[in-house]
Structure 1
Amino acid sequence: MSASLLPAQRRQRIVELLGRREYITIDEIRAATGASMATTHRDLDHLATMGALTRIRGGATRPPSPRGEARLLAACLTRVRQALDRNDLTTVESALHQALDACTRLRRAS
């Protein structure tokens, strides 16, 4: 694989791998994306924050159930409210994106 994949392309490839299997290893992700170890860990951290997967030692598993998605959505919205109170618009934007992604996943699951 080419190491020049864009972050969105790498992350999509990781999600696709998890769509076919319940668990994937760091080495399998690196082979599929051509990314370095550090980049792979950053991608997994990003996807875990978005709720697209669950990080585990040595790799990742499929995302949480719809109930877990609902909890993630509630947590994101709580972060939005707290960030607004602090006038932290960067965190508001990030949390809103995460909330919208959780809504999309919940809609797909129903």
Structure 2
Amino acid sequence: MLPSVRHQRIIELLAQREFVTTTDIRQVTGASLATTQRDLTALARSGALTRLHGGATPAAPHGETRLLAAYLARGRHALDRHDLSGVEHALQQALEACARIRRAAPRPRRSAVTQVAGEPPVLHRQPPAQRQCPDRDQVD
């Protein structure tokens, strides 16, 4: 299969799911793991997706990231003018843009991902007690 066809299939798969694994992509394209990883790297460089360990998610829309930068700049300018209502308004807009970006490109971190065929992935985060640092006396 040609790289352009594989890339199109990967993009179509990402349009259906929030996260795809390299195994999912290999099943759809029939490509080897090395070829799949090269395809994901090429698509990530072009901005078509966000690469994660073991798979990929859709890329955040560029328009949203530009809006976020503009809202944050407005907030800084309002702060320089001591315009607290302007700061509050700009930060509220920035938070809304962050939420839209996050929904478009979720990035699971330090989580186990479980996926049942045809279902969206389920993230299992460790409880906070398991993520805490050990006592100093317990560390070599």
TM-score bracket for the superposition, by shorter chain length: 0.5 to 0.7
Larger-Rg structure: 2
Counterpart for residue 108 of structure 1: none
Counterpart for residue 42 of structure 2: 46
Matches within 5 A, 1:16-95: 16-67=12-63
Q: Whose relative contact order is higher, 1 or 2, with alpha carbons under 8 Å and at least 6 apart?
A: 1
Equivalent residues, number = 66
C-alpha displacement of 1:68? 6.3
In structure 2, the gaps of 5 or more residues are: 67-140
Q: TM-score of the superposition, structure 2-length normalised?
A: 0.45
Aligned-residue identity in percent: 53
Q: Distance in 2 between matches of 1:58 and 1:67?
A: 27
Distance 1:32 1:46, change over 3 A: same
Moved over 3 A (4+): 67-70
In structure 1, the gaps of 5 or more residues are: 71-110
